[in-house]
A = this chain, B = another copy of it.
Amino acid sequence: MRVRKEEPLNDLPRTRLYVGSPLGPALSVPLTPTQTHHLNIVLRKNAGDAIRLFNGQDGEWLARLDRIGRSGATATVDRRLRPQTPAPDLCLLATPLKRGRMEWLVEKATELGVAEIQLILTMNTDAPRPKVDKLAIHAVEAAQQCERLDVPVLHPPAELARVLAGWPKARPLAVAAERAPSSGVPPENLAEVARRHPGGPAGLLVGPEGGLTVSELDDLRDLPFVALVGLGPRILRAETAALAALACWQCLAGDGSVSPPLRSVSTTGAC
């Protein structure tokens, strides 16, 4: 009953690719050189093999490779497997992190269903500014793997004050705070804040290694859309805090009660 990577899933191909082309019956979709290489060399796919495609707009489709070789690959779209459904409108504000941790954060945030990642620059931010187009590769790979129907949007680093100035006033922003601002009012439990905003658009802000400064926390505290939240007694690394906040928000105010699609009840095989 051991499942190898390329065994079908409920009779569907496991290979799932994000493409930039429109998807619809009988449409021809060109694949990128990277996708072609992966299908050809790593997965040893041949013309006629089935794959799944999504583009963030038209849902997920079954398709068949009609040409694959060193010169490129194209697939022809067959039938729709899933319509595009709205995902939680959840934006993560996080600072650049050291190499390795930054890519890990993008991968995990994508799996946890973040809609956008806005990189922010704060007083204690001192990691180098990452290249957003390179990070986007990790987001695409994670989106393909975790079966979501879109890829999160990554925004290049911007000053925190500028991001906050453009923040929609009606959109709650939960800010992870390791201690109280100078007012002394302690941060709330994240669960309490999430419960006040079920299903709606929201943002989560996590500071850098070294934390947000008290003056930054004070400024944030004064904004009507901000709630300072605690994440327990331990000092979490920035990427751990982001992941914990995202997981809790999705569980309580996002799509934590929705089951994975294409995983129907079955009496055999793995789940």
* Chain A residues within 8 Å of B, Cβ to Cβ: 1-3, 104, 108, 111-113, 123-124, 126, 145-148, 177-182, 184, 186-187, 189-191, 210-215, 217, 230-237, 240, 243-245, 247-248, 250-252, 254-261, 263-271
Contacts and interface: CB of A to CB of B under 8 A. Distances in A.
A139 B210 CA distance: 21
Interface core residue of A180, A189, A259, A271 (most chain B CB under 10 Å): A271
A211 B263 CA distance: 11
Contacts of A184: 265
B179 A271 contact: yes
A180 B240 CA distance: 29
Nearest to A2: B124
A54 to B, nearest CB: 13
Contact of A2 (B1, B126, B214): B126
Given A1-B123, A182-B265, A265-B184, A232 B254 contact: yes
Given A3-B210, A179-B265, A189-B257, A240 B271 contact: no
Given A187-B259, A211-B270, A269-B213, A111 B236 contact: yes
Nearest to A10: B179
A215 B123 CA distance: 53
B210 A259 contact: no
Contact of A234 (B147, B248, B265, B269): B147
Contacts of A123: 1-2, 270
B271 A259 contact: no
A179 B212 contact: no
Contact of A230 (B256, B261, B267): B256
A146 B179 CA distance: 14
Nearest to A264: B179
Nearest to A233: B258
A21 B75 CA distance: 65
A251 B248 contact: yes
Contacts of A178: 259-260, 263, 271
A249 to B, nearest CB: 10
Given A126-B2, A247-B247, A232 B256 contact: yes
Contacts of A234: 111-113, 146-148, 260
A268 B245 CA distance: 26
Given A214-B268, A270-B124, A270-B210, A189 B251 contact: yes
